[in-house]
Amino acid sequence: MKKKKENSNVSGLKIIPLGGLEQIGMNITAFQYEDSIIVVDCGLSFPADDMLGIDLVIPDVTYLKDNIDKVKGFVITHGHEDHIGALPYVLRDINVPIYATRLTMGIIENKLTEHNLMKKTKRKVVKFGQSINLGDFRVEFIKTNHSIVDAAALAIYSPAGIVVHTGDFKVDYTPVYGDAIDLQRFAEIGKKGVLALMCDSTNAERPGFTPSEKTVGKTFDTLFEEHKNTRIFVATFASNVDRVQQIINTAYKFGRKVAVEGRSMVNILDTAIKLECINIPENTLVDLDQMKNYPDEQQVIITTGSQGESMAALSRMANNMHRKITIGAGDTVIFSSNPIPGNEKSVTKIINELLRKGADVIFQDAHVSGHACQEEIKLIYTLIHPKYAVPVHGEYKHLKAQAKIAESLGISKDNIFILSSGDVLEVSEEQAKVNGRVPVGAILVDGLGVGDVGNVVLRDRQHLAEDGIMIVVMSLDKASGELVAGPDIVSRGFVYVKESDELIEEARRTVDDALQACLDKGITDWGKLKTTTKDVLSDYVWKKTKRRPMILPIIMEV
């Protein structure tokens, strides 16, 4: 009887988000049925302000490592960093095949080449409408629209039923490249009976429809007409290939040459050209070095840095740090993106810098979102008719907004699940419930170090940033245990030493007295001496300055 009960625990389908909930970014979800696990997406997120010195944040995949023999592959919806960025790090421990559409795979292969993983990683390019079999699962790729070409939704067939995962999507009837979203296929799958829908929640708070990407093309036409006699810079996301296509189309109409600047932008554009995902008229694209051969009114420069990133091309141009281009009076800069939440300050700083230089800056109406608003979300729900709704991709407020939409469409409150990363949702035709948790979290990447910076190190960095450090150096005689030199105090980021001689000298005397008292009592244990130094100096500095710098005693033996 007991054995039967154990089996019944895994007879349903398990949906396990390992990241991507309660935040924008780091999307990764595991689907498990008995001995088969497939993983949808494997993204990163960018560090928060308090993660000092951290470059990237990737998901903790301990659960996948612990079940490595069950993991059949990564199935990727599209080529944005928050869906593919963690792959090169995660593949080192979980080397299973990757399945993705053409451009998505092209961008992934750039990353694998950079990390020397190409030879070790199996890859398969999947076409829309095609299915792949992975253990107990069959996964079908369905055409959707997003701000990058070749975005896919997934129909995941399991013995427990069908789950539809939309990926990031919008409904665009007039896309710049390729076909419109395959609503017919959504409807056909809906007729078969869908167990659960996992739908993009990013714009779930916004009423109405997301405008077509093509509307931005008209905006560019108007802006180029209004700024006929200036050099034009357009800042946008490197991966927004459709946007780049429209800028090139407008530039061609107005007889301008286009150069592309920013490493990520150049890499993605090269991949898109190779895979024929972008159509560039002859003699329109020129090298940045050749731009000087053309007058300003014939130049368009597409650049990265629309989010105010300090090392991106636009920031370097604005701060006179770029080797080839300086922006000044008579230039027009168009921001073709909205700031991601949290980046508003950086973007404003760049805009102010550009305005100071005399450039004309345009940051309204030159962008449309790549995510579905409320009416498009309703359309997908209506076509799919899911039994259970599992909102994904977004902060809690976004997930909650989608839950309300699902409820308004007649889905019972008990059948809507707002999950947290790490929750294990067991779903079957009879019932769905959250049954346990798996380990999840953020692994911090700093330079070449992956996961070697944890909470303790971050706390130390925070402490150093806020209060500075005082280093106390002293030398003890090996034989007698007497203090032969020091204590000397060096401080950084605490007070300006030249103006605080008295404070430092008095602190030194206070530590000296405390150490002598210890030595007079015959205490020569280094641990005890260091603790005494820390306690005495900390109390003294707090009384005098109401600050608590980090204190680092160093004892040398002579």
What DSSP line would sit under 92-129, residue for residue? TT----EEE-HHHHHHHHHHHHHTT-TTT--EEE--TT
98-100, strands of its sheet edge to edge = 123-125, 98-100, 71-75, 36-40, 28-33, 13-19, 423-427, 432-437
- Pairwise CA distance, residues 244 & 227, whole Å: 19
How many whole angstroms separate alpha carbon 272 and alpha carbon 270? 6
What are the beta bridge partners of residue 392? Answer: 200
Q: Is 55 annotated as a binding residue?
A: yes
Q: Is 115 annotated as a binding residue?
A: no
- What number of CA atoms fall less than 13 Å from residue 387's CA on the CB side? 14
Q: Phi/psi at 551 (nearest 5 deg)?
A: -115, 125
Q: For residues 330 and 509, give the distance between their C-alpha atoms in angstroms, rounded to a whole number.
A: 62
- 467 catalytic? Reply is no
Residue 370, marked binder: yes
Whether cis (ω within 30° of 0) applies to the bond prior to 391 is no
Query: CB of 39 within 8 A of CB of 154?
Result: no
Is 372 labeled as ligand-binding? no
Q: Give the CA-trace dihedral at 114, 115, 116, 117, to 10 degrees.
A: -120
Radius of gyration of the chain (CA): 29
What do you get for the CA distance between the two ends of the chain, in Å? 72
Single out the catalytic residue among 60, 136, 165, 371.
371
Quick check: is 371 catalytic? yes
Q: Is 322 annotated as a binding residue?
A: no
CB 533 within 8 A of CB 472: yes
Strand partners, 56: 445
Residues linked to residue 446 through DSSP beta bridges, in sequence order: 449
Is 80 marked within a binding site?
Answer: yes
By the 8 A CB rule, do 261 and 325 touch? yes
Annotated binding residue at 172? no
Query: Does the annotation flag 30 for ligand binding?
Result: no
Between CA 514 and CA 554 the distance in angstroms is 16
- Whether 165 has a binding-site annotation, put simply, is no
Q: Are 161 and 352 in contact (CB under 8 A)?
A: no
Cα–Cα distance for residue pair 163/204, rounded to 1 Å: 20
Helical ranges in 227-339 per DSSP H: 241-253, 263-274, 313-318
The answer to whether 150 is a known ligand-binding residue is no
Tokens standing for residue 524: 């020569």
C-alpha distances (whole Å) from 263 to each of 55, 237, 266, 313 are 17, 12, 5, 9
Does the annotation flag 522 for ligand binding?
no
Q: Is 332 helix (H, G, I), strand (E, B) or coil?
A: strand
> Which of 200, 242, 331, 423 is labelled catalytic?
200
Helix axes 183-192, 374-384, angle to 10 degrees: 40
Q: Which of 390, 381, 376 is nearest to 409 (CA)?
A: 381
Tokens of residue 79, six digits: 């080529």
Is residue 240 marked as binding?
yes
Annotated binding site for Ca(2+): 53, 55, 446
Annotated binding site: 53, 55, 78, 80, 82-83, 146, 168, 238-240, 367-371, 393, 446
Annotated binding site for substrate: 238-240, 367-371
Cite the active site residues.
Answer: 200, 371
Annotated binding site for Zn(2+): 78, 80, 82-83, 146, 168, 393
